[in-house]
């Protein structure tokens, strides 16, 4: 197989078409799980899978499986895939390169007359992004049994709509208890993804072989102070919820910067202020924080320091502070045999490569709990992601699909 066997132009066309299925005006991609754009995007991708002759099934939360049945269908398949949901104000490539690139790898193998012994299965995970329910990797988390049906039923979005209502309205009505994968369901899983960092492009390396996936955590903090007239309420005695939040935002930033490790990162991506009027003292503020590190213990130290800061600010400012640890997941270590297969494919394909860690989390973080897993990164321009100017050049995507196709063929033989 050479890169000439790949149909990268048509793949770019599919990525562009998928990118236009958005809640926002192109080139901005916003596609929140169970929304109208998500449903249209699912239908589009399932149509492409059906056109490739794959057998398409969905589980009770919309994780989608498109199987190329192998000559020995009783063997555990080799999986590949990623997600197609997108956070607000995102780009074309996050997740979608892994789904449509995985499909292109399958179509290329089909075109070359390859017959897999193990089935090869493309997976489109539901809700990799935390946008709707505040927790990332919802679909793969449930597949791995890391989130049970009861806990999932308690999930609500910002409008108070529950998971049950939304998934059933989107046509997913099966029992949530049926989602966890049985042992050996996949003999291996590889996720192709943009790096979402600058390293590969800066070094001019074709692909990254991911050895570890960072450990993500998310904490929801609610501050309740006392509202009032911005002009008539004097400063002494104020219980301003946003001023309290500001102290915690800086405490979190300081906590991440002072671990001494470059791998510790922390972000407050959501800050909701009530009532949100310029001349009214904020009485209620909700913060959503994202805290990561490739070492879980170091990350947990930052979370503990933030918790301590909450206690101190609550006492000193008289603002009630409620704390909810949404998730604190362990990091994942990728499988040496899958990595070795990727390395051999990169060499055979004449592609430069390096081993690296993933600072972003991915569905592979949870697939690694139920199957041997590795990730395959391609460069993205300037390391930019989660922005409309996210970009991966066709030759970068081609290199990733080329190495992926070779590896799938090797593992499925
Ligand atoms: O946030 C992440 O790491 C992923 O892109 N959802
Ligand atoms: Mn993302
Ligand atoms: Mn992603």
What separation in Å is there between the alpha carbon of 383 and the centre of ligand 3?
13
Does residue 258 share a domain with residue 142?
no
Does residue 179 share a domain with residue 65?
yes
Q: What is the DSSP string of 148-200?
A: -HHHHHT-B-TT--BHHHHHHHTT--S-GGG-SPPTTS-SEEEEEEE-SSSHH
Does residue 34 share a domain with residue 157?
yes
Instruction: Report d(CA 217, CA 341) in Å as an integer.
Output: 31
Q: Are 29 and 91 spatial neighbours (Cβ–Cβ below 8 Å)? A: yes
- Tell me what the pLDDT averaged over the chain comes to: 97
pLDDT in tens, 143-152: 999 999 999 9
pLDDT in tens, 168-194: 999 999 999 999 999 999 999 999 999
Instruction: Report d(CA 79, CA 99) in Å as an integer.
Output: 11
Does residue 391 share a domain with residue 247?
no
Closest residue CA from atom 6 of ligand 1: 129
Listed in sequence order, the DSSP H helices in 292-377 are 296-317, 336-348, 364-367
Is the model's pTM score more than 0.75? yes
pLDDT of residue 174: 97
Does residue 289 share a domain with residue 368?
no
Does residue 203 share a domain with residue 283?
no
Non-local CB neighbours of 279 within 8 Å, separated by 6+ positions: 229, 230, 231
Instruction: Report d(CA 328, CA 320) in Å as an integer.
Output: 24
Q: State which of 361, 375, 380 you would mutate to test the pocket of ligand 1, scoring each by most atoms of that ligand within 8 A of its C-beta.
A: 361
Instruction: Report d(CA 229, CA 48) in Å as an integer.
Output: 57
pLDDT in tens, 372-394: 999 999 999 999 999 999 999 99
Q: What CATH number is given to the structural domain containing 79?
A: 3.40.630.10
Instruction: Report d(CA 79, CA 76) in Å as an integer.
Output: 9
**Helix (H) / strand (E) containing 209:** strand 207-213
pLDDT of residue 146: 97
pLDDT of 2 over the 90 cut: no
Residue at a domain's end among 284, 308, 328: 328
Closest residue CA from atom 5 of ligand 1: 360
Instruction: Report d(CA 117, CA 44) in Å as an integer.
Output: 28
Does residue 251 share a domain with residue 206?
no
Does residue 338 share a domain with residue 203?
yes
Q: Are 212 and 331 spatial neighbours (Cβ–Cβ below 8 Å)? A: yes
Q: Are 136 and 128 spatial neighbours (Cβ–Cβ below 8 Å)? A: yes
pLDDT of 77 over the 90 cut: yes
Q: Are 68 and 121 spatial neighbours (Cβ–Cβ below 8 Å)? A: yes
Residue 230 lies in domain: 215-328
Instruction: Report d(CA 113, CA 123) in Å as an integer.
Output: 22
pLDDT of residue 309: 98
pLDDT of residue 4: 83
pLDDT, mean of residues 336-348: 98
Residue % of the chain over a pLDDT of 90: 98
pLDDT in tens, 18-59: 999 999 999 999 999 999 999 999 999 999 999 999 999 999
Ligand 1 interacting residues, C-beta cut-off 6 A: 128-129, 136, 360-361
Instruction: Report d(CA 264, CA 275) in Å as an integer.
Output: 33
Instruction: Report d(CA 372, CA 12) in Å as an integer.
Output: 29
Does residue 337 share a domain with residue 307?
no
What separation in Å is there between the alpha carbon of 62 and the centre of ligand 2?
18
Peptide bond before residue 27 is cis, with ω within 30 degrees of 0:
yes
The length of the chain, given as a count of residues: 413
pLDDT, mean of residues 315-344: 97
Give me the phi and psi of 11, to 5 degrees please: -65, -45
Q: What CATH number is given to the structural domain containing 232?
A: 3.30.70.360
Total count of domains within the chain: 2
Does residue 379 share a domain with residue 310?
no
What separation in Å is there between the alpha carbon of 91 and the centre of ligand 1?
13
Does residue 121 share a domain with residue 85?
yes
Q: State which of 90, 96, 299, 360 you would mutate to test the pocket of ligand 1, scoring each by most atoms of that ligand within 8 A of its C-beta.
A: 360
The closest-lying atom of ligand 1 relative to the alpha carbon of residue 361 is: 3
Does residue 264 share a domain with residue 396?
no
Instruction: Report d(CA 203, CA 180) in Å as an integer.
Output: 40
pLDDT of residue 63: 98
DSSP state, residue 399: H
Instruction: Report d(CA 250, CA 403) in Å as an integer.
Output: 43
pLDDT of residue 35: 97
pLDDT of residue 33: 98
pLDDT, mean of residues 216-221: 97
The closest-lying atom of ligand 1 relative to the alpha carbon of residue 385 is: 5
Residue at a domain's end among 310, 328, 346: 328
- Which neighbouring-strand residues pair with 266? 291
pLDDT in tens, 252-277: 999 999 999 999 999 999 999 999 99
Peptide bond before residue 367 is cis, with ω within 30 degrees of 0:
no
Listed in sequence order, the DSSP H helices in 33-156 are 36-51, 96-111, 138-143, 149-153
Q: How far is C-alpha 123 from the chain's CA centre? A: 13
Nearest to 406 by CA among 62, 112, 128: 112
Residue at a domain's end among 270, 301, 328: 328
Number of H helices, E strands in the chain: 12, 17
Residue 407, sorted as left (phi over 0), alpha (psi -120 to 50) or beta, turns out to be alpha
What is the Rg, in whole angstroms, of the alpha carbon atoms belonging to the chain?
Answer: 22
Q: Are 373 and 338 spatial neighbours (Cβ–Cβ below 8 Å)? A: yes
What separation in Å is there between the alpha carbon of 401 and the centre of ligand 3?
16
Non-local CB neighbours of 295 within 8 Å, separated by 6+ positions: 215, 261, 263, 331
């Amino acid at each position: 197989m050479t890169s000439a066997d790949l149909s990268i132009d048509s793949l770019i066309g599919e990525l562009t078409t998928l990118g236009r299925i958005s809640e926002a005006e192109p080139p901005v991609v916003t596609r929140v799980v169970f929304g109208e754009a998500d449903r249209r995007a699912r239908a589009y991708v399932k149509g492409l899978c059906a056109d490739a002759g794959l057998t398409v099934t969905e589980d009770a939360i919309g994780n989608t499986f498109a199987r190329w049945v192998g000559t020995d269908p009783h063997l555990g398949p080799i999986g590949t895939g990623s997600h197609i949901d997108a956070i607000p104000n995102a780009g074309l490539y996050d997740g979608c390169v892994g789904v449509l690139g995985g499909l292109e790898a399958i179509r290329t193998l089909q075109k070359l007359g390859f017959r897999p012994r193990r089935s090869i299965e493309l997976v489109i995970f539901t809700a990799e992004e935390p946008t709707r329910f505040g927790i990332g990797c919802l679909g793969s988390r449930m597949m791995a049994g890391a989130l049970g049906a009861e806990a999932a039923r308690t999930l609500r979005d910002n409008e108070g709509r529950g998971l049950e209502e939304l998934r059933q309205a989107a046509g997913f009505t099966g029992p949530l208890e049926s989602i966890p994968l049985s042992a050996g369901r996949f003999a291996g899983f590889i996720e192709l993804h943009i790096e979402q960092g600058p390293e590969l492009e800066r070094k001019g390396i074709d692909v990254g072989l991911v050895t570890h996936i960072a450990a993500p955590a998310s904490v929801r903090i609610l501050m309740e102070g006392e509202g009032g007239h911005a002009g008539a309420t004097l400063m002494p005695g104020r219980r301003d919820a946003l001023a309290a939040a500001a102290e915690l935002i800086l405490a979190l930033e300081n906590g991440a910067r002072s671990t001494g490790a470059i791998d510790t990162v922390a972000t407050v991506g959501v800050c909701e202020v009530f009532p949100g009027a310029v001349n009214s003292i904020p009485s209620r503020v909700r913060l959503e924080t994202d805290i990561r590190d490739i070492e879980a213990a170091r990350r947990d130290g930052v979370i503990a320091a933030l918790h301590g800061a909450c206690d101190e600010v609550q006492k000193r400012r008289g603002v009630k502070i409620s704390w909810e640890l949404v998730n604190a997941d362990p990091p994942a270590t990728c499988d040496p045999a899958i990595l070795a297969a990727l390395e051999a494919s990169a060499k055979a394909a004449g592609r430069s490569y390096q081993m690296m860690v993933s600072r972003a989390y991915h569905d592979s973080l949870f697939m690694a709990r139920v199957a041997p897993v590795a990730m395959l990164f391609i460069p993205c321009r300037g390391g930019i992601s989660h922005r409309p100017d996210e970009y991966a050049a066709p030759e970068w995507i081609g290199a990733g699909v080329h190495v992926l196709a070779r590896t799938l063929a090797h593992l499925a033989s």
